[in-house]
Chains A and B, each alone.
Chain A
């Protein structure tokens, strides 16, 4: 158990819909990362937040957005869903957010299926 929790575990929805994925980082970790894993693209970095502020952006679509709340949990919002958005979405947390080295702890993931 990494200490990172993600809800829900599974999500099935239809094209055009909007969903919210939730992540609670390990206690004390200030940085949260979101990654997407699909069969054809592998594991891809989407976005990072550090203590409530956006720190880095990766291959995140404009239809996707994220935020980190004062209690440090984070949400990833996916809208106007397409079939290609079906993937595993992982959240990870770390203590320092990239200053010097840091180990990331990954949650169990949310499996999104868009029908």
Chain B
């Protein structure tokens, strides 16, 4: 599984967009980019995933660069409840892996401020 690099912490003003970057320069062609978050000591929560194209759901948008070596998670209108640790994970090779294990890094602690 490819390694990811994320900034340890970021601040964002409430109501503004939060843009969380992730580098995954060793990603292979069939690996997905996943984002999870963990609020305080709760169980991690799935946010979004993508392979090549940009993705959007009700929680966030995921922008993956054309060379797939980096991505950005966008929370369009951050609220105080979005304060959490955000994990970028590269995993799940389509054909060579039959395990769904997640390898968590240190993540980015996002602090949303009023």
Give the B-binding residues of A (Cβ under 8 A).
2, 4, 31, 33, 35, 37, 42-45, 48, 55-56, 58, 88, 90, 92, 94, 96-109, 111
Contacts and interface: CB of A to CB of B under 8 A. Distances in A.
Interface residues on B, range: 20 to 34
B114 interface: no
Contacts of B104: 35, 42-45
Contacts of B9: none
Given A35-B102, A90-B43, 4 more contacts: A31-B100, A55-B99, A101-B92, A103-B46
Q: Which of A88, A104, A109 counts the most chain B CB atoms within 10 A?
A: A104
Contacts of A104: 44, 46, 100, 102
15 contacts: A31-B100, A35-B102, A35-B104, A45-B101, A88-B41, A98-B100, A99-B98, A101-B32, A101-B51, A101-B92, A104-B44, A104-B46, A104-B102, A106-B43, A109-B43
Given A42-B104, A43-B104, A45-B103, A101 B49 contact: yes
SS class, residues of chain B in contact with chain A: loop
A107 B38 CA distance: 12
A111 B105 CA distance: 21
B97 A100 contact: no
Given A2-B43, A42-B106, A103 B98 contact: no
Nearest to B48: A103
